[in-house]
Amino acid sequence: MTTTRTLKVAAGSVEPNVRRGGQIRVTLSPRTVGAGSGFGGVLDLAPGDFVTEHYHPYSEEFLHVVTGELEMLLDGEPIALTAGDSLLVPVNARHRLVNTGTSHAHVVFHLSPLAPRPELGHVDTEAPLSGGQPNIDVGGPS
């Protein structure tokens, strides 16, 4: 099979979304590579940093901790995570991720299936950290 579209994306080439906290880089998505079933990328959190609470009404979220010590509040229940741990965040589960360690944390994530429209993919239950419109990284082709 021959393909002319780009299927590989370097995380460093993606502008980070900092609206909900940390540096979220969506690398593989409908917009970046034409993905049709989900999207994923990487998250970097400094010690004490967090991703504000939100939920996904259409998607499960899969997290894998590469480095660091984190705590996920999943529907208000704390779950400790360290390097090598993976976690499934179910559809509609409120979640908030905090770097509880003393070093940088790096997480790989994937969400699937896609919401019917990108703006329906996340529902904030805590005020975002930065103002302005959401940075919707998973929309149609750019």
Residue-by-residue DSSP string for 38-58: -EEEEEEE-TT-EEEEEE-SS
Q: Give residue 102's domain range.
A: 15-124
Segment (H or E) for 32 = helix 30-33
Residue 72 lies in a domain: yes
pLDDT tens track for 68-113: 999 999 999 999 999 999 999 999 999 999 999 999 999 999 999 9
DSSP helix/strand/coil, 30: helix
Amino acid at 35: A
Residue 42 lies in a domain: yes
Residue 70 lies in a domain: yes
Residue 137 lies in a domain: no
Give the Cα separation of 92 and 56 in Å (integer): 5
- The domain that holds 96 is classified in CATH as 2.60.120.10
Residue 134 lies in a domain: no
Residue 62 lies in a domain: yes
Q: Are 76 and 86 in contact (CB under 8 A)?
A: no
Q: pTM of the entire structure?
A: 0.87
